[in-house]
Chain A
Amino acid sequence: VVWDMLGNRQFCSYKITTKTQNFCRNEYNLTGLCNRSSCPLANSQYATIREEKGRCYLYMKAIERAPFPRRLWERVLLSKNYEKALEEIDENLIYWPRFLRHKCKQRFTKITQYLIRIRKLTLRRQRKLVPLRRKIERREKRREEKALIAAQLDNAIEKELLERLKQDTYGDIYNFPIHAFDKALQQQEAESESESEAEKEEEDDEDMDKREFVEADDSDLSDFEDMDKLETSSEEEQEEEEEVEKKASQASHSKSKGKTPLKGPARRKRPYIEIEYEEETEPASKTKAA
């Protein structure tokens, strides 16, 4: 009667229909499908296996208790031992229809299997999913952008490097005399031009293994080609600049591209490093050159 009313014809709130099948949402349902034989509402003699906190219970419904809904389902705790539990199911459901017994045992088997899996997985490392909060994410992103702008990284790095240069952390690698000295030399250079040129040719080969950077006089050049000429004395520096200047003018570079090898003597074998400077030509240079 119940089945005629609920299951097949009218509305049953536990029933879910999909394209191929009908499911039953009732928690006491044994198989999960909506059938005449597995509906806990329609059958007055019914049994299920449910698990709570890792322990399995056998729930039984008997026709005598039909008018007492509170005492309708009788609960039996099953032992943790798999075989023993199966025996207990058999004991309790003796003289019950074969279908129920069989399905109960199947369900019990499945439940124990997934409980074992849970216990195994908790022993391994587990990934914890932490939900992000959109508002906070947006806030952080915005603050990061503003901090980036406020930081002015390039300037800060350049300043720091120049500071270190001033405090002589680089030692003797870079050879930059102070500006005043430089200007004094420039006057000298004009006089001793022709003599030093010849000298410079000889010096070049000797000093190949020492690495020193020659000051590219910023009054003359903003872009230059070769920084691998090595000089020890400052007089030759001026010569060096002159020669480099000539080369630069010959090559007629409009973009600022400089090639500098890493190590002096092995420069042919090592790959070149192209360095591109993003800086404008100083106004001073223009006026002096002109």
Chain B
Amino acid sequence: RGPFMFLRWKQQQRKEKLAAKKKRKKEREALGDKAPPKAIPKTIENQRVYDETTVDPNDDEVAFDEATDEFAPYFNRQTVPKILITTSDRPRGRTVRFCEQLSTVIPNSHVYYRRGLALKRIIPQCIARDFTDLIVINEDRKIPNGLVLSHLPDGPTAHFRMSSVRLRKEIKRKGKEPTEHAPEVILNNFTTRLGHSVGRMFASLFPHDPQFIGRQVATFHNQRDYIFFRFHRYIFKSEKKVGIQELGPRFTLKLRSLQKGTFDSKFGEYEWIHKRREMDTSRRKFHL
């Protein structure tokens, strides 16, 4: 008795499985053309629980919402994005460098030091100086681990947890720095209503007209509720081939909460909070 029984049983199972597989393959070849089509392997994306808030491209209601929400002035080209990047108190070297790199990636952005100022007080000042967006990078144990993105004239505030931050020198490539051209923006996989609004938030950070001369692209790719940010330079080698080279920092975000107004931890009206008990139970259910 003991552990050997289990091992033996396991080995037997494996052998049986292999045999079954071989048999199936033989049958398939024997049938030739009449064989049934191959089954599609199940992936998490295939098995994803259908979210009722998925946005249909032709949805009128959504289109109307988007025409009248806080980003409408941006998408109508009435406002030019101007970003303020700051950190929490006493940023360490890594965070500071990350902020600098982020400001080179996003055109028309400025980095300011926090120096113990309360967010509630700097927000009116920002609005007075015509900033459209505020980014606060939260730091813990010398690495950045949180991001608060707030659209300023009374826009929504999104709070993310940031992970796996790679600075430019840690990425394996041999390119130069991003230039001043406005990059293109790619938003992938933002399907639900919530994902849509978050995607629009990201899009509103960048100038509306990308300069194709620069050949730079910033990508926000959502996969299973994790948003991966990458910054590349692309070049079309032919009609069907494109080469990309990664420059610029990379990081991943996970949405924690979305607030209706500007940043206010006590009295804000939360549109969406990540509730661990309810939302993390199913492995096939995603919200973005």
- On whether the beta carbons of B223 and A262 are closer than 8 Å, the reply is no
* A184-235 residues at the B interface, CB under 8 angstroms: 211, 213, 215-218, 227
Once bound together, how far apart are the Cα atoms of A213 and B276, in whole Å?
51
Of B186, B223, B233, which contacts A160 at CB under 8 A? B186
Verify if B237 is at the interface (C-beta below 8 Å from A): yes
- On whether the beta carbons of B188 and A144 are closer than 8 Å, the reply is no
- On whether the beta carbons of B237 and A271 are closer than 8 Å, the reply is no
- On whether the beta carbons of B241 and A218 are closer than 8 Å, the reply is yes
B 140-158 to A, binary, CB cutoff 8 A, 1 in contact else 0: 0000000000000000000
Once bound together, how far apart are the Cα atoms of A116 and B151, in whole Å?
38
Are A262 and B174 also in contact (CB < 8 A) when A147-B224, A211-B213 are?
A: no
Verify if A4 is at the interface (C-beta below 8 Å from B): no
B272 contact set on A, CB distance < 8 A? none
- On whether the beta carbons of B228 and A153 are closer than 8 Å, the reply is yes
B214 contact set on A, CB distance < 8 A? 262
* A115-141 residues at the B interface, CB under 8 angstroms: 125, 127, 136, 139-141
Are A151 and B244 also in contact (CB < 8 A) when A160-B188, A262-B213, A277-B237 are?
A: no
Of A136, A161, A258, A275, which contacts B217 at CB under 8 A? A161
* B230-281 residues at the A interface, CB under 8 angstroms: 230, 232-245, 252, 254, 276, 280
Q: How many residues of chain A have a CB within 8 Å of chain B?
A: 49
Once bound together, how far apart are the Cα atoms of A162 and B236, in whole Å?
9
| A5 shortest CB reach to chain B, Å | 51
| A18 shortest CB reach to chain B, Å | 32
Verify if B20 is at the interface (C-beta below 8 Å from A): no
- On whether the beta carbons of B244 and A157 are closer than 8 Å, the reply is yes
Once bound together, how far apart are the Cα atoms of A6 and B61, in whole Å?
82
Once bound together, how far apart are the Cα atoms of A164 and B44, in whole Å?
28
Once bound together, how far apart are the Cα atoms of A271 and B236, in whole Å?
20
- On whether the beta carbons of A218 and B242 are closer than 8 Å, the reply is no
| A290 shortest CB reach to chain B, Å | 20
Are A275 and B239 also in contact (CB < 8 A) when A147-B224, A157-B244, A211-B213 are?
A: no
Once bound together, how far apart are the Cα atoms of A114 and B242, in whole Å?
66
Of A150, A153, A179, which contacts B224 at CB under 8 A? A150
A279 contact set on B, CB distance < 8 A? 241, 243
Task: List 5 A-B residue pairs with CB atoms under 8 Å apart, sorted by A's residue number.
Answer: A144-B254, A150-B45, A161-B217, A170-B212, A276-B245
Chain B positions near chain A (C-beta within 8 angstroms): 43-45, 89, 116, 118, 163-164, 173-176, 179, 184, 186, 188, 212-214, 217, 219, 221, 223-226, 228, 230, 232-245, 252, 254, 276, 280
